[in-house]
Amino acid sequence: MLHTEFTVQRRLYTGAMKELALQPKLVEQVHEAILSEITEGRLAPGERIIQEQIAQELGVSRQPVQQALLLLRNKGVLKDAPGRGLIVAPLDLDYVLSMYEIRAVLEGLAFRKAAELNAERARKSGGALIQKGRKAVKSKSVAAMIAADREFHAFIYELSENPLIAPNMEAQWTSTQRVMGEVLMRDEKPRDIWDQHEAMLAEVAEGHGAAVEEMARQHVMQAANFMIVRLRSQRGSSSAPTKTTPLARADG
């Protein structure tokens, strides 16, 4: 019998042991554990994932792993592998472009409304989030940087007082998180991202709605342009054979 106080060890492809609290939301935890491996580049596009091995590594039964993998497949993060199991799906150029076009509009709206409605709250509370983001950059942890970025933008959504912005952004979070991981691990400079955040926050605090709306759109599309160029370059290269991790090879 499993108890809520029980913890399981997480060691997914990394060799490092981490703990997961065994809760009713175990499927969500397994989902996040696998997605984190992908976001932080430890599971690259084309790498094979086998649920029995993941269950063993996480110390859980196959059922929550199966459900988590199904969620990731339905979101396009994973796809069926030849023969059996799943592999990490490559990022799709058209989807990334469409996602960022929508995000740019929504982010612009959120920052503009935040400036118009809650400039004082931005001035009082926003600085702590900027400091948290810079601390995450110093840690060089992709997971910490993504979490800080998410918290900052969630703060802006709250200030916008538009109840539809956050749910619409949340619906794309899995894909956004994956793209952010690529940006942070490659050529984008995390410190520059937080310089942009600080500049946008200053405009919100001054109540400059129109100006910060344009800044927010440019902020989003800079990341989009980086990924589009990178994905186009990958499309032009020849297809590489499907890669297999040592854990997957052990299964065969």
- Which structural domain range is residue 18 located in? 7-90
* 84 and 114 both lie in a single domain: no
Residue 73, burial from CB neighbour count under 10 angstroms (0-12, 13-18, 19+): middle
* 117 and 216 both lie in a single domain: yes
Residue finishing a domain among 90, 105, 123: 90
* 85 and 111 both lie in a single domain: no
* CATH code assigned at 105: 1.20.120.530
Q: Are 134 and 108 in contact (CB under 8 A)?
A: no
Q: Are 58 and 48 in contact (CB under 8 A)?
A: no
pLDDT string in tens for the chain (252-residue length): 444 343 444 445 554 445 555 455 899 899 988 988 888 878 888 899 878 888 888 889 889 999 999 999 998 899 988 877 899 998 888 888 899 999 999 999 999 999 999 999 999 999 999 999 999 999 988 889 999 999 999 999 999 999 999 999 988 888 888 888 877 776 556 668 899 999 999 999 999 999 999 999 999 998 888 878 877 776 665 444 333 333 333 233
Q: Are 232 and 91 in contact (CB under 8 A)?
A: no
Looking at beta carbons, which pairs linking 230-238 to residues 24 or more positions away fall under 8 Å?
A: 230/182, 230/186, 231/91, 231/92, 231/93, 231/96, 232/93, 234/90, 235/93
* 186 and 109 both lie in a single domain: yes
CA distances from 160 to 44, 115, 119, 196, 252 (A): 36, 8, 10, 19, 52
Residue 160 lies in a domain: yes
pLDDT at 190: 66
Helices 26-39 & 62-74, crossing angle to 10 degrees?
A: 60
* 97 and 79 both lie in a single domain: no
pLDDT at 236: 64
* 127 and 225 both lie in a single domain: yes
Q: Are 9 and 116 in contact (CB under 8 A)?
A: no
pLDDT at 18: 54
* 83 and 99 both lie in a single domain: no
Residue finishing a domain among 90, 120, 148: 90
Residue 232 lies in a domain: yes
Residues linked to residue 79 through DSSP beta bridges, in sequence order: 87
Whole-prediction pTM: 0.73
* 14 and 110 both lie in a single domain: no
* Angle, CA of 15, 21 and 26, to the nearest 5°: 95
pLDDT at 58: 87
